[in-house]
Structure 1
Amino acid sequence: TAEIMRMMLTNVVWGDHGTGKLLRNDKVRIAGKTGTCYIIENGAYNTGKKRLAFCGFFPAEKPLYSCIVLTCYPKQNMFGAASTSGTVLKNIALKMFSRGMLNNSSDYREGEHAPTKPTFFASGGQRRIKNVRDNLGMGSVKYFEPGNHKSGVPSVLGYNLRDAINVLESAGLEVDFNGTGYVVAQSLSPGSTLRPGSRVRLTLNQ
């Protein structure tokens, strides 16, 4: 039954009549299902607002990861589930491929394996770290515990760039950064006096 379902969901993207053809690419074979519905407002469907979903997994031939993406009320109604939520999932899959996280090399060359497994950053306790390491086969897992400062500059050490910017800008700070990966240093010390409008520089590393 699982094999039949996997074939059906693969055909959503790769079949002749699938609704997810936009997600085809030559790096990661994606499988999944699109979904579209109207948003309920005041007890009735608002036909001018849609909620678009894509639930999928990859690589389709040997699944390693699954993901559900929801997009609510895209500003252009011509957008469909594949061009919104599905594209988000495809971009995630391609970025993971580029980092060698799909049992592949990280330089887009086929037939080779990365010499070292990627590092995965996680929070939530040492038990979760062990589960991540054992289940995902990561080479190493770096643990971080977000700083819990009731006042002052927030700590974003270990965060990805998007989440770090969101936290710091919400606190009224301007953000610069260099490098790629995860935050390993910040120019304003966590917990130090917060002066809205100040600039904090983040250093990122893999």
Structure 2
Amino acid sequence: MKIKSSEFIISAVGPKQYPEDGLPEIALAGRSNVGKSSLINRMLLRRNLARTSAQPGKTQQLNYYRINEELYFVDVPGYGYAKVSKTEREAWGRMIELYLREREPLRLVIQLVDLRHPPTALDISMYEWLSHYRIPICIVGTKADKLSRNQVPKHGKIVRETLGMPKGQPLVLFSSETGMGRDELWSIIAQAADIPLNSPSEPQNDPQETEDNG
């Protein structure tokens, strides 16, 4: 995918703030510190468009990024971080559930899991919830560069088995550091959003973030 333009649009806390232009939306979900911001920056070949938070779980809005005037990435608040009140967590959960279940332009949820470790109980719960409501899912195993070449397929198999993924459901092995999986993920996104996929563009002197708290 050739990135012609990418920009942050809004941090939304409810439907009244969502964009109304009808462009397809690709949501990114995962536990805190799984690498969502770093993935967004690598996918868009930007250094700091999606900013990492100094405190995991601090982001509590839906962050919209518009790409090529063709689609949005929607960064969903990270789950699994407990340093917020029960009331805040409940309100946060309702906002996310409302968005994922009822947002008409939503075309795909990219669920990120840390490839280095088996999916957590929260990862499994999120996957089962999305599957129950028949929301299209693509699983991305992040931080693949932290594993040896021989470990990557083995850990990918563990992710598939732990989540109980059906045959044919996409699992992208990804590294924000090296760009591994970027072209494959763009192909899946373009198909889901029904937009043309241009020739992959390569980063040119564009250093990437290696850690992420978002």
TM-score (norm 1): 0.28
Relative to total residues, which structure has the larger helix share, 1 or 2? 2
**Higher RCO (C-alpha 8 Å, min separation 6):** 2
Greater radius of gyration (CA): 1
Relative to total residues, which structure has the larger strand share, 1 or 2? 1
TM-score (norm 2): 0.27
